[in-house]
Structure 1
Amino acid sequence: MKNANKVPTISVIIPTRNRWASLKRLLQSICLSVNVDLKNDVEVIIVDDASTTKPPHFIFDFCNMFNKFLIIRNEKCLGASASRNRGLVASKGKYLLFVDDDAVLPPNFISTLMKLLDENNNIGMAGGIIKYLKKPTKAQYIAWRVNLTPLAFLHGNITYESAKSIDSSELLDADYIPTAFLVKREIVMKIGGFDEKIPLYYDDSDFGYRIKKLGFKIVIDPSISVYHDTGDTIFSNPRKIYMCIRNSSIFMVKHSNIHRLFVSLGACILSIRYFFQIFKQRP
């Protein structure tokens, strides 16, 4: 399958840490997400964010299935944004697929989205509806909008109200796409990649919103479903709560106006005190 002299068209960049079984499942789905004649145009770049265990042997079984298969290891944990940027530097593809290691892609996912971007110069990023892997009929994310209100740190973003009312033949407009998305390389280079000050939570919001501010469309193809093996919610983990509030504040500083900014920062400070008081009172 490999052709060392051929420059890949698509680079798949996957940050991971200590989730080898999930990564194997994702890689298996990637094999099915491109047409057979496109596999020689795909390189896969895994960025191991300082996992505490070595990659199992089965990971290397995928080496000969793509144009290029590369594993980059961070010596210390840098976070998803920095890991994606390391993959970006090593990549060669015209199109970049950023995908989380706990996702499962449907058949022809890459082929369908590449065709969509190739035929529409005004579209900078594309993805599918995100559904729960363990509840595949239930949508987790449909088409998310950035919320720049003072309470953005609490309710995050706004989705379409119901998946039942969506016409699967019409593209949906979004401000960003989490979990798995295809984007044009030239656009990623224009915005300078991912903001490493936002290592997780709001990293995808910031990335997509900067693309949107360049004037490109971000779209969801509702005929495609990506399956997400999501774990616990942020409210079950104090560190996740802190990171979500911290990064939403950074996001607001970058993208909101002054009035909203000061109101939001004040609300964030109060919320941090509130959440930590709750956890101190827990038995």
Structure 2
Amino acid sequence: MLDLSIVTINYNTSEATLDCIKSIVAITTKVNYEIVVVDNASNEQDFLNLKSKLELLNLPYLKLKRSNLNTGFGTGNMIGYAETNPSKYICFINSDVELIDDSFPVLKTYLDEHQDVAVVSPQSVNEHLAFVPTIDHFASWQREIFTRKGLELVNKNRFPKRKKTYSAPIVADFIAGSFMFIRRSDFDQIGGFDPNIFLYYEETDISRRLKKIGKNTVLVPTIEYKHIHGLSTEKSVGIKLEQKLSLLYVVHKHQGWLAYKILLIYFGIKYFFSTLINPKKWPLLKATLMGMPLHLSLKQKQKINSN
């Protein structure tokens, strides 16, 4: 059996995806692994560039799967997961990630020795190798209204500081979705990624469901990886709306109807006043007044790419 199946998604980021794969191949030792790359309906030029350059690498343990529809982060990863061979562990890794340390053996050993842990991750740094917060607190109405910093001040034990450099492994609510090393059996038990989420909050949803079966999420800060943020997603009101749609869905799913309503009222007030200053934010207020329904998601606007 393979030790590890690595899944990554390409969406118009072929050069970054290639750099990610090269960094894995160059630095990984002591672990038997495979790599599955899912092209999530990139434009034809980007896909052909990726395909031709992967062929030049001539890696027998690498598979490229093309989707003719942009299915988003979670479903895209599930497409790749369906292509994997049996392995004990899965690593979902962003295409804009590059390995700095030989992380996989360390993470594998940690999970082998801690059966109560399902997900682990190295510490993230940016393209300048500067510290980036990698742990976070569950998406919740409390976090949105009282802020992360407020929660950390009120209950330091329950909410460890995100912007602190740790020297030893620490249990967190969840870790950044850019690098998630997961025991396959635990991932299967919770049913994988939720297909209702197109973008954002997939990792908090995964870790919440794992928590319900008694499995923790842990940061292993003695190893690091480089994450170049935002290569495939540009900031816009549409992207902000997608974030809020996912947030409200996850809060409703895990905290219930009342929490969902509290957030709707909060966002309604917030976006009412922000729209007076910046009318371009009207779509956010409109969506809030509608209840942030998932049919407004970018998922519903994707078109089949026949190329």
Does 2:51 correspond to 1:59? Answer: no
Q: For residues 17 and 93 of structure 2, what CA distance do their matches in structure 1 show?
A: 10
Contact 1:150 1:261 in 2 (8 A): no
Aligned to 1:43: 34
Tell me which amino acid in the other structure corresponds to 1:231. G
Aligned to 1:120: 114
1:260 is displaced (CA, Å) by 2.4
1:8 is displaced (CA, Å) by 2.2
1:204 is displaced (CA, Å) by 1.5
Q: For residues 281 and 154 of structure 1, what CA distance do their matches in structure 2 show?
A: 26
Q: For residues 105 and 126 of structure 1, what CA distance do their matches in structure 2 show?
A: 15
Give me the identity figure in percent: 18
Does 2:46 correspond to 1:76? Answer: no
Three-state SS of the structure 2 residue aligned to 1:47 is strand
Does 2:171 correspond to 1:173? Answer: yes
Structure 2 counterparts to residues 213-232 of structure 1, below 5 A: 213-231=212-230
Aligned to 1:249: 248
1:230 is displaced (CA, Å) by 1.0
Contact 1:11 1:42 in 2 (8 A): yes
Q: For residues 247 and 240 of structure 1, what CA distance do their matches in structure 2 show?
A: 11
Pair 99,86 (structure 1): closer, same or farther in 2 beyond 3 Å: same
Tell me which amino acid in the other structure corresponds to 1:58. K
Three-state SS of the structure 1 residue aligned to 2:174 is coil
**Cα deviation 1:91-140 (Å, max 9, x = unaligned):** 1221000001111122211111011111211110100121111x312x22
1:275 is displaced (CA, Å) by 5.5
Tell me which amino acid in the other structure corresponds to 2:254. H
Tell me which amino acid in the other structure corresponds to 1:177. I
Contact 1:175 1:205 in 2 (8 A): yes
Contact 1:12 1:99 in 2 (8 A): yes
Aligned to 2:267: 268
Please give the TM-score of this superposition, normalised by the length of structure 2: 0.78
Does 2:197 correspond to 1:198? Answer: yes
Aligned to 1:3: none
Q: For residues 19 and 154 of structure 1, what CA distance do their matches in structure 2 show?
A: 36
Three-state SS of the structure 2 residue aligned to 1:32 is helix
Pair 113,105 (structure 1): closer, same or farther in 2 beyond 3 Å: same
Residue 143 (structure 1) aligned to one of 135, 140, 158: 135
Contact 2:5 2:33 in 1 (8 A): yes
Three-state SS of the structure 1 residue aligned to 2:132 is strand
Structure 2 stretches lacking a partner, 5+ long: 150-158, 282-307
Structure 1 stretches lacking a partner, 5+ long: 1-6
Tell me which amino acid in the other structure corresponds to 2:57. F
Three-state SS of the structure 2 residue aligned to 1:255 is helix
Aligned to 2:92: 98
Aligned to 2:14: 20
1:243 is displaced (CA, Å) by 0.7
Aligned CA-pair RMSD: 2.6
Contact 1:245 1:272 in 2 (8 A): no
Aligned to 2:303: none
Q: For residues 159 and 25 of structure 1, what CA distance do their matches in structure 2 show?
A: 33
Please give the TM-score of this superposition, normalised by the length of structure 1: 0.84
Contact 1:132 1:227 in 2 (8 A): yes
Moved more, 254-263 or 68-77: 254-263
Pair 276,121 (structure 1): closer, same or farther in 2 beyond 3 Å: same
Q: For residues 76 and 146 of structure 2, what CA distance do their matches in structure 1 show?
A: 27
Pair 272,105 (structure 1): closer, same or farther in 2 beyond 3 Å: farther
Tell me which amino acid in the other structure corresponds to 2:204. S
Contact 2:5 2:89 in 1 (8 A): yes
Tell me which amino acid in the other structure corresponds to 1:59. L
Q: For residues 17 and 254 of structure 1, what CA distance do their matches in structure 2 show?
A: 28
Q: For residues 275 and 49 of structure 1, what CA distance do their matches in structure 2 show?
A: 34
Pair 154,43 (structure 1): closer, same or farther in 2 beyond 3 Å: farther
Aligned residues: 266
Contact 1:128 1:225 in 2 (8 A): yes
